[in-house]
Amino acid sequence: MRLNAYLARAGVASRRRADELIKAGRVRVNGEPGRLNTFVAAGDRVEVDGREVSAQPLAYYLLHKPAGVVTTVRDPQGRPTVVQLVPAQPRVVPVGRLDADTTGALLLTNDGALAHRLAHPRYGVEKVYEAEVEGDPDEKALRRLRDGVELDDGRTAPARARRLGPGRVELVLHEGRKHQVKRMLAAVGHPVLRLHRSGYAGLELGGLPPGAWRPLRAEEVARLRTLVGSAARGDRRTTA
């Protein structure tokens, strides 16, 4: 496991911050200064500022994110964050983002390799959204959503779209642009009033209430890895 990933798994810092610690000479592996290309093997001793640290077991949590909670590890404005709703140890981070006012399925994990692939556009991970909108979209509006909508950062990929009821639409996307659902629906004349993500990468909330979480089952983790062609590396212990 690369040293920055090991430090992230140990709950020391994010990978980016871990790189800064390594470059500052604050990390040692088996008594020698760590480097950005250092790999940590089983039995290696890793120290940060003279204190030994160890990688934590892999953890995967599905959270029903409530409104008013931000999808970050910490917030300068002091707003509640999603990591405050799940166990503090092992340290996990959210995969991707949901706006503060958006509710629904959010995955949190310390499996950096899997999280990176799930969030990467090339893998086209499926996201299912249910939106309450102004007005009542007709078939023409739905067809525009399915064919792709021209936005200021380019045309969106085709999406699945269907009407759930008066003023309610389901959108299934394989992209992850910032505020994409809101921008798409505004572009077809139906601004979003409320937005909920009911599914992510095949994971569904079921009866999980807002603010609650559950660990992923082993078969769900395996399915995610198969989805993006990722395999667990290093310590295979897991809380799933």
Residues taking part in catalysis: 99
pLDDT of res. 234: 42
- The pLDDT value given to residue 240: 53
Q: Nearest to residue 1, comparing CAs of 26, 21, 17, 18?
A: 18
Predicted confidence at residue 233, as pLDDT, reads: 47
C-beta of residue 188 within 8 angstroms of C-beta of residue 144: yes
**Between the CA of residue 168 and those of 26, 58, 147, 157, 162, what are the distances in Å?**
53, 38, 19, 21, 9
Architecture field, domain 60-121+202-228: 2-Layer Sandwich (3.30)
State yes or no: cis peptide before 90, omega within 30 of 0. yes
Three-state DSSP state, 193: strand
Query: Could you tell me which of 160, 200, 165, 239 has the C-alpha nearest to residue 64?
Result: 200
Burial 26-40 (b: 16+ CB within 10 A, else e): bbbbeeeebeeebeb
User: Residue 217 and residue 6: Cα distance in Å, rounded?
Assistant: 24
Q: Which residues contact 210 (CB under 8 A, 6 or more apart)?
A: 64, 65, 66, 67, 103
Superfamily of domain 3-53, CATH level 4: RNA-binding S4 domain (3.10.290.10)
Average pLDDT per block of 10 residues along the chain, 240 residues long: 89 86 97 96 95 92 98 91 94 92 96 88 94 97 96 95 97 93 97 98 96 98 92 49
Q: Could you tell me which CATH number the domain at 126-200 has?
A: 3.30.70.1560
Can you give the length of the chain in residues? 240
pLDDT at 235: 43
How, if at all, do strands 103-109 and 192-200 pair?
parallel
- Residue 112: predicted pLDDT: 82
Question: Where in the chain are the domains?
Answer: 3-53, 60-121+202-228, 126-200
Are domains 60-121+202-228 and 126-200 of this chain identical in fold? yes
Tokens at residue 197, please? 């993500």
